[in-house]
Structure 1
């Protein structure tokens, strides 16, 4: 299946809706191929930002707010990158929401969870910066960008000790990108869509001073940058050849959750200037995706609110709140490489399912989800061992009564499956995030192969490596892009 076909109807609706805030484009041609047929145009700014996802837009807003001029280059016909198709949740300790809900958390605990989640292979200095600035990132989105968060709910992603992920209204990255785009438009920040960066330019002394790009009509444009360039182009999850180059496991067998624009452009361009890479072999799958398309399933977020993960034989096989990589590997080891999430009406109501009814209905139409009045009916739909599943659920319901999961020591509240109707969803892993990328320091400066900062070159977001180690915990990507997008903006203006 072509990558562009993996973009769901829901995503297209989001993209079209963004045109209302100046973020869409009537010409929905997708990726600019970057083939030039004209040359000679030149524009001058203080800073050039490559990539109009969450990291790039955050950086641009901070730069313009500081009084400097900035332009954002985006090769797609719409803004948002992978932030747009994310759930938009971001982790932060000691927030006002945790205080309201009486949840005890700390910067140190968040840092510890993040380091442990990446097998202690992350750069501890970068993780310290992430943890120390996470709360301010959420507050900046709320107060400066006007992002609306649910005030009485937090998500607890796998690998986190407590609920700490702020949940945007609608449970979608559309809330973040819509508001970031609106803020950029309000500040008159030029966002050049379908303008593909081809080369990062430097002067004779090696200081980065611009970008050579090609627009949708094939015109070559030189964007001069008096102060520097910020690379915020995302990861390389959609580039199969690049994935195989660094980790042969993640070949054509895997579909992807990511945008088709996630092809590693920023990494490749920066390498030509001597940029060092870190952790490129660390590629993450998301465990609960649509087996028909590879698209990440937000309906399957029932896993965080009590749904039970079973296999074809009707048995549980992993803790539902384990790390993404652990669950993904466990699912792939089951019959047909598939897992099945089962939940009841109580869990459905706890999961804000009303936010995801379009996807819910699509899954039903595709035969990937069944709703029925009995455990027997949902099991028979997917040819799951009925008697074994009934025994598994009966045992699990007793764990819920006792308050302890004796099989897998499930974190969070254990909720029994007792209230009909019941739901069963088929899921499988797909490529979701690339933890490796450009090596940066705590000021978001790109580091070269000799260990020195490349003058005038900065990076933020999934294009960078070192922050998440071998595995990224859920909810940490959005925290990452906001924290380091803002740091890159501060650093480039020094």
Structure 2
């Protein structure tokens, strides 16, 4: 048995060859028959690949073990494994949206070829086209055409089908899930049942009092303040000591957190329906951890966490419901034009990956759920010149603003297009959300320190304030610091924490002094910072930065530090909609037959989205759109 190891750019390849039989010539190589294995680090963990060679050919490729994200990584694995065998090439097409997984799988097979004595160049021909362009336009019909298969699109499709409508979902990417499948699955909603387990501190009371005593900016804001005050007065008179929350308070924080420029009516519609959406998703099988926390930039302890990797616990139940209801989901189908007949949207024109044309006709409506424009560098820079082309993003590559472009062509209005959010705690250089030690997305038991080992920000602040503070630190980055009490074998993205430690993406030590040394911080700096923080936890007050959120002290070894840096995350601007999710034109009139939900819309989050509000938004407004179509 022979073993070879390579370590570069977080990729470790361990190969074992066995069952070596005869030697067969293959081009310039002498490929040995037998079974070989290789292990390459993919997106979430090592992908263990078994390759069998027989008669000078690749007889089979089998992935023995992987932790790649469902609907993304497993699709790439299945597709590429088959292509490698069918076409005898490692030059199989990369699956868009799963580039890391695709590259890892192909690298593992290449290593097996090398270990078997083969020549990679003999297995490097391109995969031929798997289809051709049709000369005719294919026409498909349904009551509702949904464009996009993320959380908004699938929640709309399933809700519409539950109401008896026929639905077709089209998706331009080869995989479903949109941004939702990649998210941290944080879902904000007022939830009396779970929030009764949390205390209401004096600091939190001050936050409520400050908000309800502000001077309103307009009548809708004034009424919202009045409604929150009425609920808060009842809460105080009840004598309870548990956390105060209600849809009105969630709405007021969303409005204030977005700099008071969002549409209060849209926000109210959102917060009044989030708990119902959560319960509906649970009825479909969405696994929700029975603990409420506060996500980064959430401002309040109302963040629910899915007990599944990334957003699979959201997309999985929706997809399974769609399959049971026989809802067609057509991937690799890019919608590029809305069809208008008699001043009404009656369908969409689309093109598949071979250039064949399709028209999807809707007897009731088209629902746009195409996501935002974080990866449309021209659009985002035009909207916000400060977003330079070199800036990385947490988003999937399909977020290029397609729905906005199509709707603009038929006279739709937009709002807040200059509001683009940067997430504070992403992975440096790559911009992904992954790579952290803690299981939960909440910051209840976490502090953030700079390279000097010092706290520099209120960790429960708004995301834009958090980002601004990080950018002022050395190298524009920081570290999540937490103890082992919130660490499990795998984090919320299905990554093995110990593997991340071994790869140098997370730092771990049995003492704070040792962690400090690993991070090359000034001696005693991190120890002093954590000691000061632990005293704040006991006192429930932060005299330096005004942190409101205190759960447990950081004291249980081992201790962890995760490098974090800002990354473009969410585009708050988009199509103008009303509370029924109907798209409005530039004069504010309803465009008949056109609805929109999710990040393709604007007006809900203002200039700054609260952490945990997006997942609840896309699922809730997807349902609102479908129900409105059925009603109208």
Give me the TM-score of the superposition, normalised by structure 1: 0.90
Choose which of 211, 214, 225 in structure 1 pairs with 2:348. 211
Cα separation, 1, equivalents of 2:537 and 2:373: 41
The aligned residue for residue 333 of structure 1 is: 472
Residues 134-283 of structure 1: matches in 2 within 5 Å? 134-143=274-283, 145-151=284-290, 153-160=291-298, 162-170=300-308, 172-203=310-341, 205-283=342-420
Cα separation, 2, equivalents of 1:377 and 1:112: 44
The alignment status of 1:479 with 2:616, answered yes or no, reads yes
The aligned residue for residue 433 of structure 1 is: 570
| C-alpha spacing 1:116/1:36, structure 2 compared with 1 (3 Å) | farther
Give me the TM-score of the superposition, normalised by structure 2: 0.71
The aligned residue for residue 122 of structure 2 is: none
The aligned residue for residue 266 of structure 2 is: 126
Contact 2:393–2:432 (Cα < 8 Å) also in 1: yes
| C-alpha spacing 1:12/1:161, structure 2 compared with 1 (3 Å) | closer
The aligned residue for residue 13 of structure 1 is: 69
Cα separation, 2, equivalents of 1:244 and 1:383: 37
- Name whichever of 217-226 and 429-438 sits farther off: 217-226
**How far does the alpha carbon of each residue in 1:412-449 deviate from its partner, in whole angstroms, 9 at most, with x for none?**
22533222221111110101110000010111011111
Contact 2:376–2:399 (Cα < 8 Å) also in 1: yes
Residues 102-113 of structure 1: matches in 2 within 5 Å? 103-113=243-253
Cα separation, 2, equivalents of 1:120 and 1:167: 27
Q: Structure 1, unaligned stretches of length 5 or more?
A: 1-6
Cα separation, 1, equivalents of 2:159 and 2:352: 25
Cα separation, 2, equivalents of 1:281 and 1:26: 44
The aligned residue for residue 321 of structure 1 is: 460
Count of residues paired in the alignment: 479
Contact 2:370–2:403 (Cα < 8 Å) also in 1: yes
**How far does the alpha carbon of each residue in 1:146-169 deviate from its partner, in whole angstroms, 9 at most, with x for none?**
212123x11212454542222222
The aligned residue for residue 29 of structure 1 is: 95
Q: Deviation at 1:9?
A: 3.8
Q: Deviation at 1:117?
A: 1.2
Contact 2:184–2:310 (Cα < 8 Å) also in 1: yes
Q: Deviation at 1:113?
A: 1.2
Contact 1:399–1:414 (Cα < 8 Å) also in 2: no
**How far does the alpha carbon of each residue in 1:453-493 deviate from its partner, in whole angstroms, 9 at most, with x for none?**
11111100000000000111111111111111111112223
In structure 2, the residue corresponding to 1:14 is in which secondary structure?
coil
In structure 1, the residue corresponding to 2:245 is in which secondary structure?
coil
**How far does the alpha carbon of each residue in 1:205-237 deviate from its partner, in whole angstroms, 9 at most, with x for none?**
221011111123321111111111110000011
Q: Structure 2, unaligned stretches of length 5 or more?
A: 1-41, 46-66, 84-93, 98-131, 199-241
**How far does the alpha carbon of each residue in 1:397-423 deviate from its partner, in whole angstroms, 9 at most, with x for none?**
222333322212222225332222211
Runs of 4+ aligned structure 1 residues displaced above 4 Å come to 16-19, 24-28, 99-103, 158-161, 300-303, 352-357
- Name whichever of 452-461 and 101-110 sits farther off: 101-110
| C-alpha spacing 1:303/1:189, structure 2 compared with 1 (3 Å) | closer
**How far does the alpha carbon of each residue in 1:69-110 deviate from its partner, in whole angstroms, 9 at most, with x for none?**
110000111110011011222111135433576644211111
**How far does the alpha carbon of each residue in 1:134-181 deviate from its partner, in whole angstroms, 9 at most, with x for none?**
1111111112x2212123x11212454542222222253101101100
| C-alpha spacing 1:451/1:16, structure 2 compared with 1 (3 Å) | closer
Contact 1:319–1:409 (Cα < 8 Å) also in 2: yes
Cα separation, 2, equivalents of 1:302 and 1:191: 30
In structure 2, the residue corresponding to 1:343 is in which secondary structure?
strand
Cα separation, 1, equivalents of 2:82 and 2:161: 26
The structure with the larger Rg is 2
Greater RCO, 1 or 2 (C-alpha within 8 Å, sep 6+): 1
- Name whichever of 404-413 and 461-470 sits farther off: 404-413
- Name whichever of 61-70 and 290-299 sits farther off: 290-299
Contact 2:448–2:478 (Cα < 8 Å) also in 1: yes
The alignment status of 1:343 with 2:479, answered yes or no, reads no
Cα separation, 2, equivalents of 1:96 and 1:394: 34
Contact 2:141–2:361 (Cα < 8 Å) also in 1: yes
Cα separation, 1, equivalents of 2:384 and 2:139: 39
The aligned residue for residue 214 of structure 2 is: none
In structure 1, the residue corresponding to 2:524 is in which secondary structure?
helix
**How far does the alpha carbon of each residue in 1:272-315 deviate from its partner, in whole angstroms, 9 at most, with x for none?**
01111111111111111111421013546576132211111221
- Name whichever of 313-322 and 296-305 sits farther off: 296-305
